[in-house]
Structure formats: structure tokens, C-alpha cells
Chains A and B, each alone.
Chain A
Amino acid sequence: MSKSYGSGAAQVDALRSVDLTVERGDYLAIMGQSGSGKSTLMHILGCLDVPTSGSYRIGGADVSQLTEAALAEVRNRRVGFVFQQFHLLPRISAVRNVELPLIYGGMHPRAARRERAEEALAIVGLEDRLSHRPTELSGGQQQRVAIARALVTDPDILLADEPTGNLASDQATELLSIFDTVHDAGRTVVLITHDPDVARRARRQVRIRDGQIVSDVNKPA
């Protein structure tokens, strides 16, 4: 598949004929320079954007054939997405941010939702920051709220765009062990990183340059 932004002279080809298959239960690290198209690829994998040409299939279903409602359900149930810029709602508390996907998933009752969101925040070590607003949290803490929000629906696929970029190294290590746990539970994990140490924990390392995959290495188990 390919993805380009704009048109005419201003056209940017962010992805050029990328062919990638991610197996269920894979643990994938995507690496590449800034502007190489990593985030663009990730957004398409998470059904947040669509390729300009070519196709993307998730669980055998062609995403371009899905209705808006079906896409919403895929985003809600199957994918947990951690944005590079976190994208938390600034005016509501951490626990209510984490609750949002459960609300859209139709989970009842409220108390059960709240409990589940609190559990997810406990996993990322924020059990004592439940009612803080994102603006009252540090960058690393916001990052972890975003990860709790991605994990709270127990998705098949966890996608994380530079999740350790804002963290001190001991926090990063803690976080990576969370990803390891998620992967060990049979989930598919895809993360973007610059850090070779982080990439080394993944089972498969994909390098991307100028919108093309230049290497795809499976670490021997």
C-alpha cells in the first residue's frame, strides 16, 4: 500500500508500496529516521487513516470495505493506540480519560467501568493519580495514562508511537516490561522507537526509510 499527502507539487509520498504482514502474537519494532513514514504506517495499521492506494486487511477483512460503524468497533475492541502526542482530553480526570473506550464499547454498569479503568491505571503505576487532570501530570505520567487507555479494553493489538520517548530510562524499562507482559498474554504489539535497546526486546525489527521498508529482521528466538 501507499500513502501520500497533498497533491501536485506539494505532494508528499509518506509511504511507497509498503508490503507488510504482522502475524497474531507478533512483537514488532518499527525504526527509522524522523519523517520516514513510521507514524503514517502506524495510523493505517490502527484503522485511524486509510491508504491512498493498495489495501489493508485486518483479521482477513479489507478495511476499505468496512462501514463507519464496523471501523469504530475495530478501533474500540481490537486496537489499542498510544499516540506520540498522547491526545488526552485535557479537561477530564485521568480515570475518566481511560474510561472513554469502555463507554464507547457499551460497558455497563458505570461502577464496573470505573473499576476497570482504575485497574488499568494501576498497571501503569498511576493508582494514586486517578482524579488528576492531564494538565496536572508530567509528560511521562500523561504517556502512561495514554497507555492505560490503550490497554483498558484488552485489545488484540497494541500500537504505540514512540512510547518511551518522554520517559526516564528506569520508567522506560518499567513500561517495556508492561509491553512484554501484554505480548506474553498472546497480544500483538507494534511499537515505534529510535532506541536500539528498546528495539532489541522485540522479536521482529522493521526499518523504514523514505516511506519504504529497507529491512525486516526476525530475531532468532
Chain B
Amino acid sequence: MSWLELFRGALDSLLERRSRSILTVLGLLIGIAAVILTVGLGEGAQAQVGSAISALGTNMLIVTPGSVSTAGVSGGLGSASTLTLADASALSNATDCPQISQVAPVSQHTASLAAGTNTWTAPVVGTTPSYLAIRDRQVVLGQPFTAGEVQAQAHVALIGTEVVQNLFPSSRTIGRTITINGVPFSVTGELNPAGSSANANEDNLVIIPISVAESLFGSRGPYAQSLSQILLSATGPTTMSAAYQEADSLLLELHQLPTPAAADFTITPQTSLLATASSVSKTMTVLLGGIAAIALLVGGIGVMNIMLVSVSERVQEIGLRKALGATPGVILRQFLIEASLLGLGGGVLGVGLGVGGSLLVPSLLHAPIVISLPAVVGAVVVAVGIGLCFGVYPAARAARLSPIEALRSA
């Protein structure tokens, strides 16, 4: 019996049991599509978290005052405000710290803003021009302020898009005056929209020279210039740990601390944030993948049931076909082709639905989704494997019976 005849016979046989065939294909289809969509959502979330964190700035290290591990001890030393402008300028010394390319001291306070009759409240960051480079922010309108303007204590400000919307809802901004805690500043530039990062709204922001922030927010004398943070950038992604070491030992020395355990500051590399966040979303992917695997299993058991339920009817059919002259090989090939056609149908439709859904989901759920090739291949292999096992194995057993034994079984 030729393969063409076998193929035609298998197709006929599937069409004769139309509802059983549709149910089988449906079971496979849903399982496969569920795996593709859930794994895709998990990987999409992972990719989104990764890009949100790298948007915070690449190769960045953040030095914050106070120590996480020895908070009690450093509190006992009498101050948590341990980062100074002197620290920042020491870190920017190229000979001491060759792997640190840029340094930006940050002094951040929330302040009330006003322009004409409009008022608003936003975080004000006092810093140097390096801040923009380290945080990967751009001035899209106007000009950033210069190191010279920092020196000269110029009253200039860069404002984020949310500040623009609230203070200048319908007019130009460059060259206009805003007041920060009542002190007038000239707006020289608008920042690019950056959305929200893990812990802050990056668009609700005013940036001014650090030298002005000192006097604006009332420092306590020339020695205690307290900084909120010092941002550092390493020369490259591979020199992050070298930069970390340089900053750590230099600050310990400057603060006259004998051991790293006594540190009154904390250095957080951006990579560790990334690692934490991506391990969280990996857990999520595994969770979603598990749910998907269960969906596939349920679909597979459905398929198995449908196939096993019809098997006694099929055993009689096998007996009859043998009585009419079919060899066990022909029977086996017929069932193999039937199961393959069902598996192929379920596989192709399932991948189609999964991929189609993946293209639709971002616009429906506002969630990113990644089509994962291993998930697609794995789901299809498992689903078709289930179809083959439960479609072919009982048939293979029945094909070994004598025609009468098979016909009698019910």
C-alpha cells in the first residue's frame, strides 16, 4: 500500500471522526499557545526590567552616605552625612582612580517652584555637568550649563518635561525665569523625557549647579557639605569592579577608616541592581513557564483521553482491517500518519495562535512579550510527542492481536 494511499486513508479517517479530531487539535493548540504566550510574557518582563535599569545609566556606581552593613557603628560615629565635595573631587583625580571616568556629586532636595502664577513641587538636584553624561540624560532644548557656570555660581536650571508641563503649560521655556524656594533661576534647557525608573520619576526634576545648591539649601559651614550621592562611571562595563575597588579604598583612606567593615558609605554598582532585578524576573519566567507547562500537561491529558476513549472502537476497526488483509505494518503506518497529522495541525495552529497572540498582547495589555524559540520548539515537541504516544502505542498493541481477538475486544 503506497504512502499516498495511506495518507489519503488517514485523512479520511480523521474527517470521519471530525469532532474527535477537532477536540484533539484544540487540546494541542491551547497547550502550545499557552506555553508560547506565558513564557513570552515572562521573558518580555525580564527584558523590560533590564532595559529600564540600563536606562538609568551605563557603567554607573552610586556612592551613598552611611553603611548598610555597619549602620549601628557609623551611626555611633556621629554622622550619616559623610560624603563631601572633597570626596567627589578626590575621586575625579585621574592618577588615583584611573578606572573612574566621570564623577558627579549630587545634592538633592525637594523644593517649591514657581513661574508667574504657576507653582509646583519637584526634586531639585544640585550637581555638575558630568551628571548628564553618567545618567545618560540629554538636553533636548536649549543648552546644558557648563563647568564655568558651576564655578561662577550661575543661577541657571535645566528642567524635566513634567516640570515644563506644570510651570509653562503653553509657552516657551528657554530664557524664562523660575523661582526655587523663592530664589530666581534662568531656565537654560529642557531634559529629554525619560519615564519612570525603578524608584523615581525621572521627568519631575530640576538640575542646578552644585555650587548654588549649597547656599540655596543651607549648608552647615565649609566642612560639612553633605551630599546625597556621588555618581561615578567606570571606563567600561568590564572595569566596574576595578572602579569599585578604587573608590572603596580611596574613600576609606580619606575618611581615615582602618577596615572595609568600618565603612561609613555604601557603593552600589548598577550591575548588582540589574542582577537583582533580573533574578526577580527570572523567577517570574520560571513561574509562568511552570503554569504553561501545566497548561500543556492538561492539554496533553485531554488529548490522551480522547485518544484512549476511542481506542476500543479503534481496536475493533484494526481487527477488521487485518481480517481484510492489512498487515500490522500498514495499520501502524496509518495510525502514525493520523497522529502526525493531528500533531502537525495542533502544532501549526498552536504556534500560529501563540505568535499571533504575542503580536497582539503588547497593544492589548501594554506588556512586552518576547517570542521564545526554545518555548515554541519545546511546546511543539511535547504536544506532538503526546499525540504520537497515545495515538500510536495502543494501535501498535492492537495490531499484534489476531483479527478475531481484536474484533472481540470491546
Contacts and interface: CB of A to CB of B under 8 A. Distances in A.
> Is B a genuine binding partner of A?
yes
Interface of A: 43, 46, 48-50, 68-69, 72-73, 75-77, 81, 83, 87, 89, 91-92, 100-101, 103-106, 149, 153
Contacts, number: 58
A220 B16 CA distance: 51
B402 interface: yes
Interface residues of B, number: 24
Interface residue SS majority, chain B: helix
A68 B327 contact: yes
11 contacts: A49-B405, A68-B327, A68-B328, A72-B325, A87-B323, A87-B407, A100-B324, A103-B5, A103-B9, A104-B330, A149-B324
A49 B319 CA distance: 11
Nearest to A92: B16
- Enumerate the 3 nearest inter-chain pairs by beta-carbon distance, A residue then B residue, closest first: A76-B325, A104-B325, A91-B16
A72 B322 contact: yes
A105 B404 CA distance: 20
Q: Which of A50, A75, A149 lies at the interface centre, i.e. has the most chain B CB atoms within 10 A of its CB?
A: A75
Contacts of A68: 327-328
Contacts of A105: 325
Contacts of B329: 69
Q: Which of A48, A106, A153 lies at the interface centre, i.e. has the most chain B CB atoms within 10 A of its CB?
A: A48
B403 interface: yes
A17 B242 CA distance: 96
Given A77-B325, A87-B407, A103 B1 contact: yes
A53 to B, nearest CB: 16
B389 interface: no
A106 B1 contact: yes
B1 A104 contact: yes
A87 B328 contact: no
B327 A101 contact: no
Nearest to A91: B16
Contacts of B322: 72, 75
B136 interface: no
Nearest to B317: A89
B135 interface: no
B404 A72 contact: no
Contacts of B402: 48-50
A201 B330 CA distance: 39
Interface in B307-328: 316-317, 320-328
Given A50-B402, A100-B321, 14 more contacts: A43-B404, A48-B404, A49-B402, A68-B328, A72-B327, A75-B324, A75-B403, A77-B325, A87-B316, A87-B323, A91-B16, A103-B9, A104-B326, A104-B330
B325 A48 contact: no
Contacts of A83: 323, 407
Contacts of A92: 12, 16
A152 B317 CA distance: 19
A48 B403 contact: yes
Contacts of B323: 46, 48, 75, 81, 83, 87
